Structure 1
Amino acid sequence: SNAKFTVMAQNTIETLVEHFGFTPISAIDDVINSVNDLLYTAIMGLEQFVLSELNSSEEVDQVETLLESLVDHHFDMFEIYALRNIFAIPDKLEIVLPHREGMDFTLDQAKEERVDQELDAMRKKVLAN
């Protein structure tokens, strides 16, 4: 699942994490884990019923394997869909989060030199102490 996640641009991931407070893949994993929890709860109930009626759980094991396979397959598709369509930010769409409004992130040669000079001054100050 993380391999699919890496197809998202790093800046998209960072923007989404900064905005939502979680990674897209963690939200998707939470959904999948919740469904799996419900699936196993249902299977335990089915197993209790089948054991009381048939005294065998072999059939339940087969149903469990089938359901796990179906859930895995469909949630793999859901994960791909969610990453491509729900959590995707189009390349040309510029998003400015509210706490970043008015900030200037452009960098020209003069600003870069000024930052380098400030960093050098701070390094010298730290090394002097």
Structure 2
Amino acid sequence: TTALLTEHFRYTPLTLLDDIINTVNELVFRAVNAIEEGFAGTTAEQLGFELDKKTAATLPNEQARREALSELKQNEIDNGIVKLESLLNATVDKDFDKFEIYTLRNILSVGHEDDLANWVRLDHYKGVDVVNSDEVPTPEAVQMQRRKLHETAKLNTLLRAEEAKNAAVLQQLSSLIGA
């Protein structure tokens, strides 16, 4: 059935599914990047980050506290984004594996190969009897025909060369008779 569908669609069913999965993966990537940019554009205080009193007391000034808070925020964002991306990718992979199997078995399948010729006709098969398989040549018969064709082509080349020689001899004889 894959061959028939590939011939009909002009691409394999698996290519269609791969394109769908790649599109979803691209959308997941964009979504994760948008989330990361959103967090990066928000201050640490707005996200609820605070330095513990002991750490804040050891820092010399407000600028150092802001930098420590910003570093804490960035580390948390980086770790969270990695975990989120891993979780989303694992979920997409698992669910789209199921989608791929279901689609190939139930949506992009036509039936058994034997029955297809009776029911599905592509335009370029109109008028062709694809059901009658009694006259299908064996691989050996095809190979024999290829050998015969090759030998016939060699013989044809030799005969044309002989014809050219004979034409040259006839021309020489004509010139001798005429001379």
Q: Tell me if both proteins adopt one fold, taking TM over 0.5 as the criterion.
A: yes
Quote the residue 2:58 is aligned against.
none
Quote the residue 2:101 is aligned against.
80
Quote the residue 2:134 is aligned against.
108
Which ranges of structure 2 fall in alignment gaps of 5 or more residues? 43-72, 158-179
Matches within 5 A, 1:19-38: 19-38=8-27
Please say if residues 50 and 60 of structure 1, whose CA atoms lie closer than 8 Å, have aligned partners that are also in contact: no
The aligned amino acid for 1:123 is: H
Task: Give the Cα separation in 1 of the matches to 2:111 and 2:133.
Answer: 23
Task: Give the Cα separation in 1 of the matches to 2:17 and 2:154.
Answer: 47
Quote the residue 1:43 is aligned against.
32
Task: Give the Cα separation in 2 of the matches to 1:64 and 1:86.
Answer: 30
CA offset at residue 124 of structure 1? 2.0
Which ranges of structure 1 fall in alignment gaps of 5 or more residues? 1-11
Root-mean-square deviation over aligned CA pairs:
2.4
CA offset at residue 76 of structure 1? 0.3
Task: Give the Cα separation in 2 of the matches to 1:71 and 1:85.
Answer: 20
Change (3 A) 1:119 1:31: same
Task: Give the Cα separation in 1 of the matches to 2:101 and 2:22.
Answer: 16
Quote the residue 2:150 is aligned against.
123
Higher-RCO chain (CA-CA 8 Å, sequence separation at least 6): 1
Question: What fraction of aligned residue pairs are identical, expressed as a percent?
Answer: 32
Matches within 5 A, 1:9-28: 12-28=1-17
The aligned amino acid for 1:31 is: I
The aligned amino acid for 1:50 is: F
Match of 1:52 among 21, 25, 41: 41
Quote the residue 1:69 is aligned against.
90
Question: TM-score with structure 2 length normalisation?
Answer: 0.57
Task: Give the Cα separation in 2 of the matches to 1:62 and 1:45.
Answer: 15
The aligned amino acid for 2:96 is: F
Task: Give the Cα separation in 2 of the matches to 1:29 and 1:20.
Answer: 15
- 1:86-118 per-residue CA deviation (whole Å, 9 max, x = no partner) reads 111111343221210111232435x749x8686
CA offset at residue 21 of structure 1? 0.3
Task: Give the Cα separation in 2 of the matches to 1:107 and 1:122.
Answer: 24
Task: Give the Cα separation in 2 of the matches to 1:78 and 1:112.
Answer: 40
CA offset at residue 36 of structure 1? 0.5
Task: Give the Cα separation in 1 of the matches to 2:86 and 2:134.
Answer: 59
